[in-house]
Amino acid sequence: MEKEVFSMPRIGDKAPEFKAITTQGEINFPADYSGSWVILFSHPADFTPVCTSEFMTFASMEKQFNAANCKLVGLSVDGLYSHIAWLRTIKEKIEYKGMKDVEVTFPLIEDITMEVASKYGMMMPGESNTKAVRAVFVIDPKGIIRTIIYYPLSLGRNFDELYRVLIALQTADVFSVATPADWRPGDDVIVPTAGSCGVAKERMESKAEDVKCYDWFFCTKKLDKDTVLNKIIKK
C-alpha cells in the first residue's frame, strides 16, 4: 500500500485537524482550543533525559503560559501507558535544577501510528525514522499557525524564548506593530513601514518624542512594559 504523503503545514495555514487520545482524555484539535493560543509541541521519546528536562521546565512554567491565554499540548510517538508511567516517574522520582514533585497536567498525545506527527511534519527521517524531532507550533485563537520552530533530538528547547515568542505575537496583534531583534516587553517596537512617499516624508519630519526613525522605512516607538503586560497577561 502506498504511504500517504502529507505536506508540512506552514506559517499562516490553518492548523491541521485531528482527534487524539491524550493523558488528559480525548481531544479534538484545534476545535477544543478555539479562543486560546496553543503551543503544540513534539518530543522524541518518553523516558529520555533531554525530554525529561524539557517536560519539567515546561510544566513548571505552565501557569505563566496559561496567564497569557495559552494552553500546552505535547506529543510523542509513544503509547498512552508509556506516557502515564513516564509522567508518574517525573512526579515521584526526578529532582532537577530545583524542580521536584512536578506534575504534568497538560495533555500529552499518544501517537504510535505517527498520524499526527506526519500531518504536522514532525517526522524528519534524516534525523530519525522512529522519533519525532522537537517541533513547536504556536497556534492562535482562530486556529492559524503563527510560528514554527524545529530543534534536533540532541538539543533541549529554550522555554523562555517560547514565552517571548508568544508575548511578541500577541503584542504585534494587539498594538499593530512588529518587534525587532531580541525584543522583550518594554523595548521599543517597530511601526508599520511607510506605504507612501507622503507618509515617509511625514515620518522623517515628525517631532514626535516617542517615535525614532533610523530612516524612512525603519521607525520605532515606545511601548512600555506595563501597557503590554496589562493587555496580555490575566491577573
Planar angle of CA 150, 153, 156, nearest 5 degrees: 75
Least Å distance between CB 16 and ligand BEZ?
A: 24
Least Å distance between CB 54 and ligand BEZ?
A: 7
51 catalytic? Reply is yes
Q: Does 153 bind ligand BEZ (CB under 6 A)?
A: yes
Least Å distance between CB 154 and ligand BEZ?
A: 6
Q: Does 132 bind ligand BEZ (CB under 6 A)?
A: no
What is the secondary structure of 100-122 as a DSSP string?
A: -S----S-EEE-TT-HHHHHTT-
Q: Please, which residue, 38 or 51, has the CB nearer to ligand BEZ?
A: 51
SS (H, E, C) 184-215: CCCCCEECCCCCCHHHHHHHHHCCCCCEEEEE
Q: Does 94 bind ligand BEZ (CB under 6 A)?
A: no
Q: Please, which residue, 133 or 194, has the CB nearer to ligand BEZ?
A: 133
Find the binder of ligand BEZ among 131, 146, 157, 203 (CB under 6 A): 131
Find the binder of ligand BEZ among 113, 129, 154, 196 (CB under 6 A): 154
d(CA 65, CA 68) in angstroms, rounded, equals 5
51, 70, 213, 219: the active-site residue? 51
Least Å distance between CB 102 and ligand BEZ?
A: 16
Q: If binding means CB under 6 A, how many residues of this protein chain bind ligand BEZ?
A: 9
User: Residue 139 burial by CB count (10 A; 0-12/13-18/19+): exposed, middle or buried?
Assistant: buried
What is the secondary structure of 150-181 as a DSSP string?
A: EE-TT----HHHHHHHHHHHHHHHHHT-B--T
- Adjacent-strand bridge partners of 76: 110
Q: Please, which residue, 55 or 65, has the CB nearer to ligand BEZ?
A: 55
Least Å distance between CB 190 and ligand BEZ?
A: 37
Show the cell assigned to 61.
Answer: 512554567
How many Å is the Cα radius of gyration of the chain?
Answer: 20
Task: Locate all alpha helices (DSSP H) within 25-104, ordered by sequence.
Answer: 49-60, 62-67, 80-93
Torsion of CA 131, 134, 139, 143, to 10 degrees: -10
Q: Please, which residue, 154 or 196, has the CB nearer to ligand BEZ?
A: 154
* Contact mark string toward ligand BEZ, 19..58, x via CB under 6 A: -------------------------xx--xxxx-------
* Site residues (CB under 6 A) for ligand BEZ, limited to 180-219: none
Q: Which residues bind ligand BEZ (CB under 6 A)?
A: 44-45, 48-51, 131, 153-154
